[in-house]
Amino acid sequence: MEAAASDARGGYEAARRILAGSNPPSGLFFCYNDRMAMGAYRAAAELGLSIPADLSVVGFDDQELIAAGLYPGLTTVALPHYGMGAWAAERLVGMVEGKLPADHKGPEPALLPCPAVIRESVAGPRD
Question: Please, which residues have CB within 8 angstroms of residue 60's CB and are 6 or more apart in sequence?
Answer: 30, 31, 32, 33, 34, 37, 76, 77, 79
Q: Give the pLDDT of residue 48.
A: 95
Q: Give the pLDDT of residue 90.
A: 86
Residue 57 dihedral angles phi and psi, to the nearest 5°: -135, 135
Q: Give the pLDDT of residue 61.
A: 92
Please answer whether residues 58 and 67 qualify as being in contact, where contact means their C-beta atoms are separated by less than 8 angstroms: no
Q: Which domains does the chain have, with CATH numbers?
A: 8-80 (3.40.50.2300)
Other CB atoms within a 10 A radius of the CB of residue 115 amount to 11
Mean pLDDT split into 10-residue runs, the chain, 127 residues: 80 94 89 94 96 95 91 94 90 79 70 93 77
Residue type, 57: V
Q: How far is CA 83 from the centre of its chain?
A: 18
